Amino acid sequence: MEAIEELAVQPCTSSLYLRPFRLSYRQNGTKKFWDFMRTHDSVSILIFNTSRQCFVVVKQFRPAVYMCEVERHHPQIFQNKDKESFTSLETPLPAVVGVTYELCAGIVDKPGLSLEEIACEEVLEECGYRVSIADLRRITSYRSGVGVTGSRQTLFYAEVNDQMRASGGGGQPEEGELIEVVEIPLEESMKFAYDETFPKTMGVIFSFMWFHNNIAPKLPKK
């Protein structure tokens, strides 16, 4: 996961996932414009293993996070953004600066499948647990990246146990996925959520808080 080499930033002229636009509009009599990206909606799943009393999350390298850190250390990397030739970084930062902890998640790009069906597929592919639609509880949906994409993410909750483990997970290598499955013990989860030394998404923090408010009080007392 952390063997990152031969970095080069290039113009993105086409993408399967991002489409840039500029919206011109008038608001309260003032003419404005805003640049934004259209991208896929997504699902995410908070997974709790009842056998181990732990949350199951994923850990992976995120190029966008990595490049934010690169720019912070090497501001010149994006100075040629309007030119054909971009800067190559001969001494890249360690890949660990771009590794984040996240909920199991996936984009909504299969028109024939429901959100629940996509969520079940992602749990199996990324974390190795076989769950059914009946195992899912819809928590809520919300907008993410409201200043850039405005896409909708739908959050589900699923309880699993060791008997439901069908594989080691890890994503789909043929699609370039390289995912590590990580278990966060319940008793350490809120400390983990607020520990800034573990880079994580807001979905992790929010869902852990939701669990402690809605599920934890109903768990059998030790």
Over the stretch 166-196, which tens digit does the pLDDT of each residue have?
Answer: 999 887 766 666 899 999 999 999 999 999 9
* pLDDT category of residue 7 using cuts at 50, 70 and 90: confident
What's the rounded Cα separation, in Å, for the pair 168 and 165? 8
Whether 1 has a pLDDT exceeding 80, the answer reads: no
pLDDT of residue 88: 64
> Average pLDDT for residues 13-38, to the nearest whole number?
93
Helix (H) or strand (E) holding 208: helix 202-214
More confident residue, 210 or 144: 210
Tokens 């399967």 correspond to what residue?
16
Phi-psi group of 77: left, alpha or beta (phi > 0 → left; psi -120 to 50 → alpha; rest → beta): alpha
The region of weakest confidence among 13-22, 40-49, 156-165 is 13-22
pLDDT of residue 177: 65
The region of weakest confidence among 25-29, 68-72, 90-94 is 90-94
SS3 118: helix
Say what percent of the chain tops pLDDT 90: 73
> Average pLDDT for residues 110-115, to the nearest whole number?
95
Whether 152 has a pLDDT exceeding 60, the answer reads: yes
Return the CA Rg of the chain. Answer: 20
